[in-house]
Amino acid sequence: MLFVRPGKLTDLDALAQMARTAQPVLHSLPHDRAALEARVALSEDSFRADVDFPGEEFYLFVLEDTATGKLLGTASIVAAAGYSEPFYAFRNDALIHASRELHVNRKIHALTMSHELTGKSRLAGFYVDPSLRGDAAAHLISRARMMYIAANRRRFTPEVFTLLLGVSDEHGASPFWEAVGRKFFGRDFEDVDIASGGRSRTFIAEVMPGYPLYVPLLPEAAQRVLGEPNASALLAYDIHLEEGFEPDRFVDIFDAGPVLTQQMDRTACVKHAAERTVREAAHQQGDAAYLVSSGSGESFRCVLADLPADAGMGAPLDGDVRAALNVKDGDVVRCVPLHQRDDEESKGDAA
């Protein structure tokens, strides 16, 4: 079975392989081995640290197969984006251009470089091995981060966001980059994307336009992709929407990919989390799939397991699940339904 745990330095070889093969590039996993080792070490220190408020902490999670010990995915949390340098994005503003004499009143969208996302917690570094079928593994590794946040609220800010890859063609060319970024950098998108290391570099402010970009003046191809996810990011986009994230007025400064945000307390894994007592069971028994987590710091674990809808029945878990979570009969775990019913369904059930 698959479970999520904090990454460790002993995972370095597997993480280095992910860094080499992952597409698109994972900024949370540098190609340089020394830099990658430093990143994993920072994560280990972050999980161990006694944190009262978010700072430079970085939390790296891995998806492990208990049968083989192989790592099949990774995802991370940045406690405060742009902690050492501002985090840049374009803010999509609506400006009013009006003339009484001409009877003109037009709302015109303009993109303004902004660092308003600086200091907010960020979900990043999502990757799942393409050999895994279905979307269960992707849900697990992505949303396990929110399960960790739910158990460690003081480590993170009241608002969380994520930035997803924008639209590009089969050759990796971004219409927005070609229309905007290339004009200022004179370089390929991938080169600058890697150099930016996650949108927190002063050279972005030094080179990108300081004045608003009027959207109607951009080529139609660039306008069409504003806030649209790349085909490879559609699953991640849907997972975040199910978690409660919403598209915001920000877009990525390089490829205009979507920025999704939400108040932490309104995300599904924080809002709907409930504690249950573990009960030994010979086999899984339940009505629906749940995200189930245990521990808080280095001991954090998260799995998918079928549980009864009635919380009074506790969490009947079989031996494999208990082993993956490192729990025993009588321990307490945190549980969230993998898929939330909408309000209308809930009202119908109540009636």
What Cα–Cα distance (Å) separates residue 199 from each residue in 124, 293, 319?
A: 12, 31, 44
Would you list the DSSP string of 233-294?
A: GHHHHHHHHHHT-EEEEEE-TTT--EEEEEEGGGSHHHHS-EEEEEEE-SS---SEEEEEEE
C-beta atoms surrounding 131 within 10 Å = 8
pLDDT of residue 200: 47
How large is the average pLDDT for residues 319-326? Answer: 96
> May I ask the CATH architecture of the domain 2-89+114-266?
3-Layer(aba) Sandwich (3.40)
Give Cβ neighbours of residue 219 (< 8 Å, ≥ 6 apart): 175, 179
Cα-to-chain-centroid distance, residue 108: 31
Question: Residue 219: helix, strand or coil by DSSP?
Answer: coil
pLDDT of residue 343: 44
> In this predicted model, what pLDDT tens digit does every residue of 226-237 receive, in sequence order?
999 999 999 999
Strands 89-99 and 104-114: antiparallel
Answer yes or no: pTM beyond 0.85: yes
Residue 199 has pLDDT above 60, yes or no: no
Pseudo-torsion of CA 204, 36, 292, 47, nearest 10°? -90
Q: Is 57 exposed, middle or buried (0-12, 13-18, 19+ CB in 10 A)?
A: buried
> In this predicted model, what pLDDT tens digit does every residue of 259-281 receive, in sequence order?
999 999 999 999 999 999 999 99
> In this predicted model, what pLDDT tens digit does every residue of 49-67 receive, in sequence order?
999 899 999 999 999 999 9
Q: What angle do CA 265, 269, 272 make, to 5 degrees?
A: 80
Task: Tell me how far apart the alpha carbons of residues 256 and 227 are, in angstroms, rounded to a whole number.
Answer: 6
Whether 63 and 71 have beta carbons less than 8 Å apart is answered as yes
> In this predicted model, what pLDDT tens digit does every residue of 156-169 receive, in sequence order?
999 999 999 999 98
How large is the average pLDDT for residues 337-351? Answer: 55
Whether 122 and 57 have beta carbons less than 8 Å apart is answered as no
Residue 105 has pLDDT above 90, yes or no: no
> In this predicted model, what pLDDT tens digit does every residue of 110-119 receive, in sequence order?
999 999 999 9
pLDDT of residue 198: 52
CATH code of the domain made up of 272-350: 2.40.40.20
Question: Residue 226: helix, strand or coil by DSSP?
Answer: coil
Q: Is 181 exposed, middle or buried (0-12, 13-18, 19+ CB in 10 A)?
A: buried
pLDDT of residue 172: 80
Residue 137 has pLDDT above 90, yes or no: yes
pLDDT of residue 73: 95
Q: How confident is the model at residue 310 (pLDDT cuts 50, 70, 90)?
A: confident
Question: Residue 232: helix, strand or coil by DSSP?
Answer: helix
Q: How confident is the model at residue 345 (pLDDT cuts 50, 70, 90)?
A: very low
The residue with greater pLDDT, 342 or 136, is: 136
pLDDT of residue 77: 97
Per domain, the residue ranges of the chain are 2-89+114-266, 272-350
Strands 213-214 and 332-337: unpaired
Residue with tokens 């009877």: 103
Task: Tell me how far apart the alpha carbons of residues 15 and 29 are, in angstroms, rounded to a whole number.
Answer: 7
Residue 349 has pLDDT above 80, yes or no: no
Question: Residue 28: helix, strand or coil by DSSP?
Answer: coil
